[in-house]
């Protein structure tokens, strides 16, 4: 009996010793405290998100515990984040498709630690309302040609500034474009993480008659989105203007609130404006940069690793977007023609009349501080040297 009791006591002593050895400091000889660092990092991220001190929203779901090869997740200690992004374009539009790609790429490259939720088709409001949400921090990002808070971007929308995709790309990837984008953070509290093309070259349309020369615009009420360079262009050509939100434009044209409008072929097709517009003119007068605005507080609260990944994914998104525009513009124009609308292409002499009328627009934009004469010359040099 005594031997049995002694044996039991020895067994209990060994068990307690094993448990103490497994608990201890929580570190093995090889992990160098990585577990403690990961826990501290996750706790800090959760605290920041809960307090709202930096505008970053942490998420519990979506992260992968290991990479595809079954190894350790290199981003496990960085926390999880959600990014809500809005835009105005419908399904099938290059912006819509490229934003879906962005969300997929970010999820894959961050191992699910950054989740991007995209709301297209104006679900979050007008472009101006969405940008206001980003500035306020209630939405993390938006894409669209909305420049109310960053009017310097309007310099790239000067009429007849470029004629080819290579010229557009050279402008949007220039040091001048980077300088203008960098100005946005101080002025608006947003970071522009990509600048691509909003839809391709923009065309005129109306319901009254074909527009072949500037004189044909006289007396027409043309819809604009409120962008000053569009308003100035139409006024210089003899038209009057009225502002209608993009999401309301179809009904505005159908009911005669406006006689005509201007948009790229892919937008006209996607929004079916050809159903309520009879005459189109392929004038290629303007392109719009498509800034990807992100709330600066949210962005600056991301770990550098995630900032680098999102920037890389945004660059790929922009390139894909421009590729889709080039692939789809002619197809969209053919859809418009097949639907019964007329498309007129001005002669060189007719087109020159439009261009000659634009000097006043350039002068007005310089006078209003949108750009300087030196910056205009810099843009013209970039375009002239584009290949």
Lookup result for tokens 């261009």: 355
Three-state secondary-structure class, residue 27 = coil
pLDDT band at 186 (very low <50, low <70, confident <90, very high): confident
Residue 10 vs residue 327, higher pLDDT: 327
Neighbours of 218 (CB within 10 A): 11
pLDDT at residue 4 tops 90: no
Sheet holding 289-295, edge to edge: 114-119, 81-86, 141-143, 289-295, 190-197
Distance CA 372, CA 369 (A): 7
Tell me what pLDDT residue 63 has. 52
DSSP string covering 276-316: S--EEE-------EEEEEEEHHHHHTS-HHHHHHHHHHHHH
Can you give the pLDDT at residue 44?
38
Four-CA torsion 168, 361, 371, 262, nearest 10 degrees: -40
pLDDT surpasses 70 at 202: yes
In this prediction, residue 157 carries a pLDDT of 98
Predicted pLDDT at 231: 97
The pLDDT value recorded for residue 30 is 31
14-68 pLDDT, tens digit each: 343 333 333 333 333 333 333 333 333 333 333 333 333 333 444 444 455 455 4
Q: What is the pLDDT of residue 71?
A: 72
Q: How many CB atoms lie within 10 A of CB 330?
A: 10
Structural contact between residues 329 and 114, judged by C-beta atoms closer than 8 angstroms: no
pLDDT digits (tens, 9 = 90+) for 206-247: 999 999 999 999 999 999 999 999 999 999 999 999 999 998
Domains defined for the chain, CATH in brackets: 80-198+289-327 (3.40.190.170), 202-287+332-372 (3.40.190.170)
Does pLDDT of 136 surpass 50? yes
Residues with Cβ within 8 Å of 291's Cβ and at least 6 positions away in sequence, in order, are: 143, 144, 145, 147, 150, 153, 181, 184, 192, 194, 195
Q: How far apart are CA 255 and CA 2, in angstroms?
A: 103
What pLDDT was estimated at residue 14? 35
Neighbours of 234 (CB within 10 A): 23
At 304-359, the pLDDT tens digits run 999 999 999 999 999 999 999 999 999 999 999 999 999 999 999 999 999 999 99
* Angle between helices 359-367 and 228-236 in degrees, nearest 10: 140
Token pair 């938006």 is found at 142
């Amino acid at each position: 009996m005594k031997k049995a009791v002694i044996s039991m006591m020895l067994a209990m002593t060994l068990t307690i010793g094993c448990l103490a050895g497994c608990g201890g400091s929580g570190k093995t000889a090889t992990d160098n405290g990585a577990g403690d660092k990961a826990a501290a990092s996750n706790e800090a991220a959760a605290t920041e998100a809960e307090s709202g001190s930096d505008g970053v929203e942490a998420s519990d779901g979506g992260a992968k515990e290991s990479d595809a090869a079954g190894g350790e997740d290199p981003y496990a200690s960085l926390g999880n984040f959600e990014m809500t992004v809005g835009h105005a374009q419908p399904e099938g539009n290059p912006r819509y498709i490229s934003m879906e790609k962005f969300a997929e790429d970010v999820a894959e490259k961050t191992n699910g630690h950054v989740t991007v939720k995209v709301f297209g088709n104006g679900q979050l409001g007008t472009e101006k309302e969405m940008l206001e949400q980003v500035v306020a921090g209630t939405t993390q990002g938006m894409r669209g040609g909305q420049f109310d808070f960053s009017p310097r971007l309007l310099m790239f929308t000067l009429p007849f500034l470029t004629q080819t995709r290579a010229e557009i790309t050279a402008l949007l990837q220039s040091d001048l474009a980077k300088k203008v984008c960098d100005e946005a953070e101080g002025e608006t509290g947003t970071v522009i993480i990509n600048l691509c093309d909003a839809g391709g070259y923009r065309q005129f349309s109306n319901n009254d008659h074909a527009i072949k020369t500037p004189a044909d615009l006289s007396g027409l009420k043309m819809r604009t989105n409120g962008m000053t360079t569009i308003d100035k262009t139409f006024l210089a050509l003899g038209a009057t203007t009225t502002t209608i939100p993009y999401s309301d434009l179809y009904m505005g044209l159908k009911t005669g609130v406006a006689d005509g409008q201007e948009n790229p072929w892919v937008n006209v097709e996607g929004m079916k404006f050809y159903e309520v517009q009879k005459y189109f003119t392929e004038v290629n007068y303007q392109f719009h940069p498509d800034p990807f605005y992100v709330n600066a507080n949210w962005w600056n609260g991301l770990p550098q690793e995630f900032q680098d990944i999102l920037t890389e994914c945004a660059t790929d998104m922009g390139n894909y977007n421009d590729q889709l525009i080039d692939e789809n513009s002619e197809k969209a124009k053919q859809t418009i023609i097949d639907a019964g609308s007329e498309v007129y292409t001005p002669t060189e002499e007719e087109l020159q009349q439009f261009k000659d009328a634009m000097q006043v627009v350039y002068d007005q934009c310089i006078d209003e501080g949108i750009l300087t004469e030196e910056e205009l010359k810099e843009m013209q040099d970039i375009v002239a040297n584009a290949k």
